[in-house]
Chain A
Amino acid sequence: MKLLVFISFIAFITLTSPDEVSAQIAMDNHTVTVSVSEITLLQVSSGSVNLTITGANAVAGVDMMSTTDQSSSLSWGTNGSLKKITVQSNLAAPLFTLKVLALNPTQGLASPEVTLSSAWQDFLLNIGRTSGSCTLRYTGIAYASQGMGTDTHSITFTIQTQ
């Protein structure tokens, strides 16, 4: 009987004093704030590209000559919505025509082939919140009547809001 009374007493103490029990377990909390700002990342795979029009690109009797290059690519990443990639050359008055096309983009919609100029032009549309890549296909065009020469373009690709 004494034992029964003792056990009942212990059980009573245990059930009615939760604060004292919890005091033996350390608890705390804090606030974690994760801030992701707008990211726009763009990179070409090669710093330089060379295009040369030679006799191999010419057809006797046809004034226009052209050559293409697909050796470089463009990679991008952005977490913004409604983004596009634009392109521009630093040459305001090149001797010859230079065009660029986004070939097989993994994301977005490629614009029709762009004739490069010093004005910004759309290159890829609707690339928002993705990373992706495309091949850069350059086409150089010259006419026999334009003679010989060299154009050195500094071509800039930029991610902009649509």
Chain B
Amino acid sequence: MASIDGRRACYGFAVSMGDGGSTMKPTRNILKALWIGSLLLVGGTTSAAGQGSSRQVLTLQVVELNKLYLPSLWIQPFQHSDSIAPHQFHLDWICNGEEKKITVAKKTPGGSLLLRANVLSASGDVVESSVEIRVSNSPVDLLIGLSRSAGRCIIQYRFQEKEAATADFADAILYTITGG
């Protein structure tokens, strides 16, 4: 109710009357009702302050986040002549924490081709590497030195065993941003 009283003071609505005050009661009541009605209309909501200013507390929080994007690939490793064909794609990331790295691991047996991933054209101060991707529970470091950054690199796959490519297969290769 304190804020309501404040608004009343703010309105500064004054009626001065001479004699015959009793005959003015209906008029005064109507004015009072109109005044209260306008208060409810304008300031009928909850919360802070009143009068000519109002305050709101806003909290903006940025939590730790790590995000990767890479496309699904459909690869025909030895479509062209005898080449050990490279296949490449863009890997995008964003992380706002300190000392992060991107690791890679193959979680399913998939095909029997030996796969190697080379990192090319990495943005920022990221250290590029070339790793062999094997089925393992221990991911290997692909990109290190990520810290509070968003960036992109090219991942180039190279297949190292031509003779094993006999049928279609799917490999699930897992990329992860983790503490470095």
Contacts and interface: CB of A to CB of B under 8 A. Distances in A.
A46 B47 contact: yes
B109 to A, nearest CB: 28
B53 interface: yes
Given A41-B43, A58-B67, A147-B96, A153 B60 contact: yes
Contacts of A158: 52-53
B94 A59 contact: yes
B61 A51 contact: yes
Interface residues of B, number: 56
A114 interface: no
A34 interface: yes
B62 A61 contact: no
A34 B64 CA distance: 61
A82 B57 CA distance: 28
A75 B45 contact: yes
B96 A51 contact: no
B10 A138 contact: no
Interface in B4-59: 7, 10-20, 24, 38, 41-59
Contact of B56 (A54, A145, A155): A155
Interface in B44-95: 44-69, 90, 92-95
Interface in A19-33: 28, 30-33
B66 A44 contact: no
B53 A157 contact: yes
A77 B60 contact: no
Interface string A7-48: 000000000000000000000101111111101111111111
A144 B96 contact: yes
Contacts of B64: 148
A60 B66 CA distance: 8
B148 A74 contact: no
B97 interface: yes
A58 B60 contact: no
Given A61-B93, A98-B60, A147-B96, A54 B65 contact: yes
Contacts of A142: 62, 96
B56 A47 contact: yes
A31 B21 CA distance: 11
B53 A42 contact: yes
B61 A58 contact: no
B57 A144 contact: no
Contacts of A140: 60, 62
Contacts of A146: 62, 96, 148
A122 to B, nearest CB: 15
A53 B45 contact: no
A77 B38 contact: yes
Interface of B: 7, 10-20, 24, 38, 41-69, 90, 92-98, 148-152
Given A52-B61, A151-B60, A153-B59, 17 more contacts: A33-B15, A35-B12, A40-B10, A43-B43, A44-B45, A44-B47, A47-B47, A60-B94, A75-B44, A75-B45, A77-B42, A98-B58, A142-B62, A145-B96, A148-B64, A154-B56, A158-B53
29 contacts: A28-B20, A30-B18, A33-B15, A37-B13, A42-B50, A42-B52, A43-B49, A44-B48, A51-B59, A51-B61, A52-B62, A60-B69, A60-B94, A60-B150, A61-B90, A61-B92, A61-B93, A62-B150, A77-B41, A77-B42, A98-B58, A144-B95, A147-B62, A147-B96, A149-B61, A154-B56, A154-B57, A155-B58, A159-B53
